[in-house]
Amino acid sequence: MPTILYLVLARGGSKGVPRKNLALAGGQPLIAWSLRAASESRHHGRVLVSTDSQEVMSVAREFGAETPFIRPSNLASDTATSLDAAVHCLCWLKEHESYEPDILVLLQPTSPLRTSLDIDLAIDMALEKNAKAVVSVATAGCHPYWMKTLNDQGQLVNWAATVPSIVRRQDLPTVYGLNGAIYVVKPKVLLEEQTWYPDPTYPYVMPFQRSLDIDTPWDLHVADLILRDQQHNRAKA
């Protein structure tokens, strides 16, 4: 069986939502939902949190995650990328533990509605296709053919250079957007190609209802309502 590393990136700061990764949603710290989903996957593996915050480290350990290092501050800035942090994690584990997983699964804590089943199916796809990478997507909420931008005169114009004259929604071609919930990649590929989307990358299509990505206080409010409703329904069952 392949060795799997579940990696949750959770820096301490956030501009849109202060202390976002520790903000409560459904009565739990936001990061807890991703840690729980990883631990409940039938593809067992290490669950590790990379963070620059001692407080996040403490909460992560409460929910069963490993925190073997604290992320350097330059990799936790607003300009640092998830790729930078993931490469740092893989290199640290190789250098300090001689540990090199076969599969890396990145789970962003801003996707609390993602389930262990979603994780299982994404990994299943990666294994079945021997894929370099599988990333989660969802059908786009607003179709690009209907999106607009402003010209220099402040007037609405089509965002796309060429737009077919399609009026009915059901006639639109299906398009997908990255939902940020799951990235499954071979670590060797990530290190060599420095991208989450090597060629080819396969899509795992998640339901739109589970694809909420928390970026604003309103997103957090919506997630809190949904998670509380789910817990209420489970308690009644």
* pLDDT tens for each residue of 139-179: 987 777 778 889 888 888 887 777 776 667 777 778 899 99
Q: Are residues 71 and 149 in the same domain?
A: no
Q: Are residues 94 and 123 in the same domain?
A: yes
Q: Are residues 167 and 190 in the same domain?
A: no
* Res 235: pLDDT: 80
Paired strand residues for 135: 183, 203
58-94 pLDDT per residue, tens: 999 999 999 999 999 898 888 889 999 999 999 999 9
185-224 pLDDT per residue, tens: 999 999 999 999 999 999 999 999 999 999 999 999 999 9
In this prediction the pTM is 0.91
Q: Are residues 231 and 119 in the same domain?
A: yes
* Total of domains in the chain: 2
When pLDDT is cut at 50, 70 and 90, the band that residue 225 belongs to is: very high
Q: Are residues 94 and 196 in the same domain?
A: yes
Look up residue 66 and give its DSSP letter.
B
Domain of residue 168 covers 141-174
CB atoms near residue 229 (< 10 Å): 11
Q: Bin 180: left if φ > 0, else alpha if -120 < ψ < 50, else beta.
A: left
Dihedral over alpha carbons 74, 76, 78, 83 (to 10 degrees): 90
The CA distance from 106 to 19, in Å, is 20
Q: Are residues 30 and 85 in the same domain?
A: yes
Q: Is 52 helix (H, G, I), strand (E, B) or coil?
A: coil
Q: Bin 195: left if φ > 0, else alpha if -120 < ψ < 50, else beta.
A: beta
* Nearest Cα residue to 29 out of 5, 51, 46, 6: 51
Q: Are residues 97 and 183 in the same domain?
A: yes
* Residue 136: HSE in the Cβ half-sphere, 13 Å Cα cutoff: 28
The last residue of a domain, from among 125, 153, 174: 174
Average pLDDT over residues 111-131: 97
Q: Are residues 135 and 182 in the same domain?
A: yes
